[in-house]
Amino acid sequence: MSGGPHSFATPLTELTGVRHPLVQTGMGWVAGPRLVSATAEAGALGILAGATMTTGQLRSAVREVASRTDAPFGVNIRADAGDAEERVRILVEEGVRVASFALAPSRELIARLKDAGVVVIPSIGARRHAEKVAAWGADAVVVQGGEGGGHTGSVATSVLLPQVVDAVDIPVVAAGGFHDGRGLVAALAYGAAGIAMGTRFLLTSDSTVPEAVKARYLAARVQDVTVTTKVDGLPHRMLRTELVDGLERSGRAAALLRAVRHAAAFRRESGMSWGAMLRDGLAMRHGKQLSWSQVLLAANTPMMLRASMVDGRPDLGVMASGQVAGLIGDLPSCAELVDRVMAEARATLGTLPTDARLPESPRDPRS
Ligand SMILES: Cc1cc2nc3c(=O)[nH]c(=O)nc-3n(C[C@H](O)[C@H](O)[C@H](O)COP(=O)(O)O)c2cc1C
Q: Is the CB of 49 under 6 A from ligand 1?
A: yes
Ligand 1 atom at minimal distance to the Cα of residue 26: 17
C-alpha angle with apex 116: 115 to 119, nearest 5 degrees? 90
Q: Is the CB of 144 under 6 A from ligand 1?
A: yes
Whether 360 has a pLDDT exceeding 70, the answer reads: no
The mean predicted confidence, pLDDT, of the chain is 90
CA distance 100 to 233: 23
CA distance 49 to 54: 11
- Indicate the residue type of 30: V
Q: Could you read off the pLDDT of 219-263 as tens digits, one per residue?
A: 999 999 999 998 888 899 999 999 899 888 887 777 677 767 766
pTM for this model (two decimals): 0.90
pLDDT at 280: 65
- Indicate the residue type of 113: L
CA distance 77 to 215: 29
Whether 343 has a pLDDT exceeding 50, the answer reads: yes
300: nearest Cα among 151, 171, 178: 151
Q: Is the CB of 125 under 6 A from ligand 1?
A: no
Q: Could you read off the pLDDT of 123-153 as tens digits, one per residue?
A: 999 999 999 999 999 999 999 999 999 999 9
Q: Could you read off the pLDDT of 155-189 as tens digits, one per residue?
A: 999 999 999 999 999 999 999 999 999 999 999 99
Residues 6+ apart with CB under 8 A from 178: 157, 184, 187, 195, 196, 197, 200, 324
Q: Is the CB of 165 under 6 A from ligand 1?
A: no
Q: Is the CB of 61 under 6 A from ligand 1?
A: no
Ligand 1 atom at minimal distance to the Cα of residue 49: 8
239: nearest Cα among 361, 162, 150: 150
Distance (Å) from CA 52 to ligand 1 centroid: 13
CA distance 268 to 288: 25
DSSP string, 160-192: HHHHHHHH-SS-EEEESS--SHHHHHHHHHHT-
Q: Is the CB of 207 under 6 A from ligand 1?
A: no
pLDDT at 172: 98
Q: Is the CB of 194 under 6 A from ligand 1?
A: no
pLDDT at 367: 44
Which pLDDT band, with edges at 50, 70 and 90, does 120 fall under?
Answer: very high
3-state secondary structure of 101: strand
> What proportion of the chain, given as a percentage, has pLDDT over 90?
71
pLDDT at 266: 67
Query: Which range has highest mean pLDDT (293-297, 310-314, 332-336)?
Result: 332-336
CA distance 38 to 52: 20
Q: Could you read off the pLDDT of 3-57 as tens digits, one per residue?
A: 565 678 999 999 999 999 999 999 999 999 999 999 999 999 999 999 989 999 9
Choice among 106-120, 302-316, 349-363 with the minimum mean pLDDT: 349-363
pLDDT at 82: 84
DSSP string, 119-162: EEEEEESSHHHHHHHHHTT-S-EEEE-TTSSEE--SS-HHHHHH
Distance (Å) from CA 350 to ligand 1 centroid: 31
Residues 6+ apart with CB under 8 A from 6: 20, 339, 342, 343, 345, 346
